[in-house]
């Protein structure tokens, strides 16, 4: 070790641990939940306080035997989570040395439980342990908290234990029922199952929806203002027509009409700014305005939080600290003037809210722009605007209706416009809506008086269709869950991931379909008709329930209606509140739920049928055999012929459903088509060419080799022999190019061309070539062996882990997808 490294080593340790851990005994140890919070608080408290974090919960129920002694008043068995052992050891040591331990976990049910677990696990003593709480990370709030310590609230802790145990019981008792009755590896839970139910019910409403046509009439007028300016005025006829006959009749009655302004109405109105962000509203707005997924929003917000730019991002509170209110007032006054300031205290409307934190806001409101990655800048900007706007004056608007009457039939058209009299908060921020069609635009109306004449330009009646209920986006599902009081800020994003991982839900974009609509015009007393086309039903990044999601939901609805009830969470929350108040004993509450629940589980296991979502579509016209669809071992499938009782009989034929086909909507004709494959196309080079659909989509097979059909270009039902030969030849060419070099020294060693460029293949392991290698053909045998030896060491352990039995295949698959996700986030972080 040279002098430089020694000095560095010394300096590093001196700064971090030296004064507090080694020489001076720690006077005060403060434990919070989040490390970023610890850093901030340490600054406020000064030298006598060491602030550490528990990284959330440190213990959880054991997984074996539910971690609950059911027969013994549901006594929980907790164990320190493996990833928390290190933290616990460190905290234990520090707590032993400290004179006073301050437990400053959040002031809510979970926070109180964390405090209690810490007390138990760290073997703290009552005399020198103090429980403190604060809702905002400001110096006055922290100092005030230190002055007002209290004891751990056992009732609140019990409420949390009841919550935890209930969730474990529900999840771990119902999931195994699904493994037996539907499919292994499935899951059910108080939150996830209801989330899927929302999607399933909405999907069925959409399937059942029949659009109804109606006609809307719009008129375009010319008008000359007093100063001589000619303006156009667009007005709508307030009534809708159901049929074209009525439209024609109405337009006929408008022929030769003269028009004049018959009435002007002016209505003042005000608009208020939206409350500061909570987790759920941030996710919604970031989705609407920035196109973020909820997970993405949380990841970006986490980075902003860790950099000290915003307050905590998992919160259900709309409250702002007084210091923030004062800063907002100052900022707004400075930027826009005093008349734009209106300090407001918002109150949460959500019943389940626990409000342990502040709303999400910039730490320093005078910082309008931060430095960082582009998504961080954008999200911060959104938070800054929303926070500032929340403390600004109402916008004052004036809504104007101008009515225009036709001389022939006395009917009136209405032109509406909105004028902003005072912009107020609109100067900074405008909340978006989920409404897909209703994009309103500010329209400025011309200046007119009653009885002013107007001239007709044209009238047109456009055929419209009633719109089906919208599908959920991630963010709108979160909004709905929050309204129902289901889930917490820390679980919204993970819940959406879970239901997708279980295969209950997919997030997809789907193309719309063309639809024709009619337009009837009246211009210069001539009625003409035209037919136009529009695209309808297109979806962008929406959540769709899968067939398995639907089957599981139906099964759970039938057998566990109590848990699937949208009010279940709200109802048990009331009881948790009573436990927290000391009015109810937690294990009695759990017992009351559990006994009938468990009986139901047993009954279901014993008596209920296996659930496959089977639907009989009809008969195959060729063979007369039944055609049905159901969920099979490998997913949704169609079956031709009964499952035979005795083994002598002819076995049924099977075919997987194609992407986009669903158990509930597939027609008999579509199912019959599925059995038209495999198709024999003929001979090529004296060998059969067959087209079929496999696990990876449609393909042609020839001479033992496979070539995929081109997506969106080739149709397995239509493809002919010449095209198939084209694909086979293309595949052959690709295979030839794949091979770069082999070696006489060792036949196991090859250089190949892959999807990610050239790579070395050696005994079934692949090694990437460094980017600076220009000509892989020039590599010698020794060069390759060197690359193999220097290849990533960790990889071997990874490989070993994934080389388990085939039964584990799905598990390893899941693992690789999560690691993929992780790498993309780290990549982003680096940028």
Partner DNA sequence: CAGTGAGCGAGCTTCCGCTTGACTT
- Residues 639-658 binding DNA (CB under 7 A) are 653-656
Q: Are 388 and 343 in contact (CB under 8 A)?
A: no
- Interactions with DNA, residue window 711-740 (CB under 7 A): none
The binder of DNA chosen from 20, 124, 171, 363 (CB under 7 A): 171
From the list 166-174, 452-460, 616-624, 720-728, the region that binds DNA by CB under 7 A is: 166-174
* Cβ atoms within 10 Å, residue 277: 26
Residue closer to DNA by CB (options 328, 360) is 360
Give me the least distance between CB of 63 and DNA, in Å please: 5
Give me the least distance between CB of 696 and DNA, in Å please: 4
The binder of DNA chosen from 302, 323, 400, 761 (CB under 7 A): 302
Give me the least distance between CB of 76 and DNA, in Å please: 11
The binder of DNA chosen from 98, 121, 188, 405 (CB under 7 A): 188
Residue 768 binds DNA (CB under 7 A): yes
Nearest to 409 by CA among 522, 251, 529, 519: 251
Residue 317 binds DNA (CB under 7 A): no
- The site that binds DNA (CB under 7 A) totals a number of residues, namely 88
The binder of DNA chosen from 89, 185, 466, 525 (CB under 7 A): 185
The binder of DNA chosen from 8, 9, 14, 179 (CB under 7 A): 179
Residue 696 binds DNA (CB under 7 A): yes
Q: Are 767 and 788 in contact (CB under 8 A)?
A: yes
- Interactions with DNA, residue window 613-632 (CB under 7 A): 632
What would the two tokens of residue 403 be? Answer: 């009515």
| CA distance linking residue 480 with residue 474, whole number of Å | 10
What is residue 793's DSSP assignment?
S
Q: Are 432 and 285 in contact (CB under 8 A)?
A: yes
Residue 480 binds DNA (CB under 7 A): no
312 catalytic per annotation: yes
Q: Are 262 and 405 in contact (CB under 8 A)?
A: yes
What would the two tokens of residue 649 be? Answer: 């009989």
What would the two tokens of residue 728 be? Answer: 């086979």
From the list 179-187, 399-407, 408-416, 548-556, the region that binds DNA by CB under 7 A is: 179-187
| CA distance linking residue 692 with residue 676, whole number of Å | 9
Q: Classify 690 as helix, strand or coil.
A: strand
- Interactions with DNA, residue window 87-146 (CB under 7 A): 106, 108-111
Size (the chain), residues: 831
- Interactions with DNA, residue window 660-689 (CB under 7 A): 677-678
Give me the least distance between CB of 466 and DNA, in Å please: 35
Ordered DSSP codes for 812-823: HHHHHHHHHHHH
- Interactions with DNA, residue window 271-300 (CB under 7 A): none
- Interactions with DNA, residue window 51-70 (CB under 7 A): 53, 55-57, 60-61, 63
Mapping DSSP onto H, E and C, the string for 792-808 reads CCHHHHHHHHHCCCHHH
Cβ burial of 2 (10 Å; 0-12, 13-18, 19+) is exposed
What is residue 745's DSSP assignment?
S
The binder of DNA chosen from 210, 438, 634, 778 (CB under 7 A): 634
The binder of DNA chosen from 20, 28, 34, 300 (CB under 7 A): 34
Residue 637 binds DNA (CB under 7 A): yes
Residue closer to DNA by CB (options 537, 678) is 678
Of 237, 305, 312, 759, the active-site residue reads: 312
Residue 167 binds DNA (CB under 7 A): yes
From the list 188-196, 209-217, 455-463, 522-530, the region that binds DNA by CB under 7 A is: 188-196
Nearest to 304 by CA among 387, 427, 390: 387
The binder of DNA chosen from 86, 523, 603, 822 (CB under 7 A): 822
The binder of DNA chosen from 280, 463, 498, 546 (CB under 7 A): 498
| CA distance linking residue 179 with residue 277, whole number of Å | 40
Nearest to 388 by CA among 417, 412, 368, 415: 368
Q: Classify 280 as helix, strand or coil.
A: helix
The binder of DNA chosen from 20, 131, 135, 190 (CB under 7 A): 190
Give me the least distance between CB of 517 and DNA, in Å please: 41
Residue 308 binds DNA (CB under 7 A): no
Burial 188-215 (b: 16+ CB within 10 A, else e): bbbbbbbbbbbbbbbbeeeeeeeeeebb
Strands 697-702 and 705-708: antiparallel
Catalytic residues: 312
């Amino acid at each position: 070790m040279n002098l430089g490294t020694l000095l560095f080593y010394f300096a590093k340790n001196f700064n971090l641990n030296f004064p507090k851990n080694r020489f001076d005994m720690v006077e005060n140890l403060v434990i919070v939940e989040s490390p970023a919070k610890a850093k901030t608080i340490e600054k406020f408290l000064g030298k006598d306080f060491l602030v550490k974090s528990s990284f959330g919960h440190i213990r959880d129920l054991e997984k074996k035997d539910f971690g609950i002694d059911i027969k013994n008043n549901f006594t929980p068995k907790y164990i320190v989570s493996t990833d928390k052992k290190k933290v616990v050891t460190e905290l234990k040591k520090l707590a032993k040395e400290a004179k006073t331990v301050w437990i400053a976990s959040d002031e809510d049910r979970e926070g109180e439980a964390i405090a209690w677990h810490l007390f138990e696990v760290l073997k703290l003593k009552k005399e020198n342990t103090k429980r403190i709480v604060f809702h905002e990370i400001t110096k006055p709030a922290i100092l005030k908290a230190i002055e007002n310590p209290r004891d751990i609230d056992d009732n609140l802790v019990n409420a949390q234990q009841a919550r935890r145990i209930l969730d474990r019981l529900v999840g771990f008792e119902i999931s195994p029922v699904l493994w037996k009755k539907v499919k292994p590896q499935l899951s059910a839970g108080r939150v996830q199952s209801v989330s899927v139910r929302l999607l399933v019910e909405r999907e069925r409403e959409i399937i059942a929806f029949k659009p109804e046509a109606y006609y809307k009439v719009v008129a375009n007028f010319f008008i000359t203002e007093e100063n001589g300016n000619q303006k156009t005025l667009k007005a709508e006829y307030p009534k809708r027509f159901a049929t074209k006959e009525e439209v024609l009749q109405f337009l006929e009655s408008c022929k030769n009409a003269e028009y004049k302004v018959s009435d002007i109405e002016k209505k003042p109105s005000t608009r208020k700014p939206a409350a500061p962000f909570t987790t759920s509203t941030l996710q919604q707005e970031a989705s609407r305005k920035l196109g973020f997924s909820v997970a993405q929003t949380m990841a970006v917000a986490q980075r902003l939080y860790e950099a000290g730019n915003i307050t905590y991002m998992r919160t259900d509170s709309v409250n702002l600290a007084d210091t923030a209110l004062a800063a907002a007032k100052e900022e707004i006054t400075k930027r826009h003037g005093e008349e734009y300031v209106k300090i407001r205290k918002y109150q949460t409307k959500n019943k389940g809210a626990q409000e342990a934190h502040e709303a999400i806001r910039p730490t320093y409101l005078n910082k309008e722009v931060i430095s960082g990655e582009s998504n961080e800048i954008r999200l911060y900007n959104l938070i800054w605007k929303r926070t500032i706007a929340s403390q600004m004056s109402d916008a004052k608007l004036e809504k104007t209706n101008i009515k225009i009457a036709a001389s022939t039939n006395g009917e009136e058209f209405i032109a509406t416009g909105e004028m902003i009299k005072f912009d107020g908060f609109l100067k900074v921020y405008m909340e978006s809506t989920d409404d897909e069609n209703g994009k309103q635009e500010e329209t400025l109306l011309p200046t007119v008086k009653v009885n002013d004449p107007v001239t007709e330009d044209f009238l047109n009646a456009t055929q419209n269709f009633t719109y089906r209920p919208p599908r959920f986006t991630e963010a709108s599902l979160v909004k709905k869950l929050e309204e129902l009081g289901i889930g917490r800020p820390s679980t919204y994003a993970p819940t959406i991931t879970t239901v997708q991982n279980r295969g209950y839900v997919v997030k997809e974009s789907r193309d719309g379909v063309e639809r024709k609509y009619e337009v009837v015009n009246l211009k210069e007393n001539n009625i003409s008709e035209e037919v136009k086309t529009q695209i309808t039903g297109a979806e962008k990044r929406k959540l769709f329930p899968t067939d398995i999601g639907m089957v599981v939901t139906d099964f759970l609805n039938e057998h566990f209606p109590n848990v699937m009830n949208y009010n279940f969470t709200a109802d048990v929350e009331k009881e948790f509140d009573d436990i927290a108040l000391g009015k109810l004993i937690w294990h009695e509450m759990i017992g009351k739920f559990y006994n009938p629940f468990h009986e139901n589980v047993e009954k279901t296991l014993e008596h209920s049928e296996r659930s496959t979502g089977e639907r009989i579509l009809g008969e195959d016209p060729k063979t007369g055999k039944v055609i049905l669809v159901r969920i099979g071992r490998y997913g949704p499938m169609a079956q031709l012929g009964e499952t035979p009782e005795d083994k002598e009989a002819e076995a049924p034929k099977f075919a997987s459903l194609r992407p986009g086909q669903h158990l509930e909507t597939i027609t008999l004709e579509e199912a019959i088509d599925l059995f038209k494959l495999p198709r024999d196309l003929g001979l090529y080079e004296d060998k059969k060419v067959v087209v079929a659909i496999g696990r990876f989509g449609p393909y042609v097979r020839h001479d033992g080799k496979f070539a995929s059909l081109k997506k969106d270009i080739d149709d397995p039902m239509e493809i002919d022999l010449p095209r198939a030969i084209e694909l086979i030849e293309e595949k052959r060419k690709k295979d030839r190019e794949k091979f770069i070099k082999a070696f006489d020294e060792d036949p196991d060693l090859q250089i190949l061309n892959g999807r990610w460029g050239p790579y070395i293949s050696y005994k079934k392991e692949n090694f990437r070539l460094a980017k600076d290698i220009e000509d892989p053909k020039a590599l010698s045998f020794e060069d390759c062996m060197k690359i193999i030896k220097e290849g990533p060491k960790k990889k071997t352990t990874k490989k070993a882990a994934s080389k388990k039995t085939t039964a584990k295949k799905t598990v390893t698959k899941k693992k690789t997808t999560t690691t993929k996700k992780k790498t993309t986030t780290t990549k982003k972080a680096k940028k």
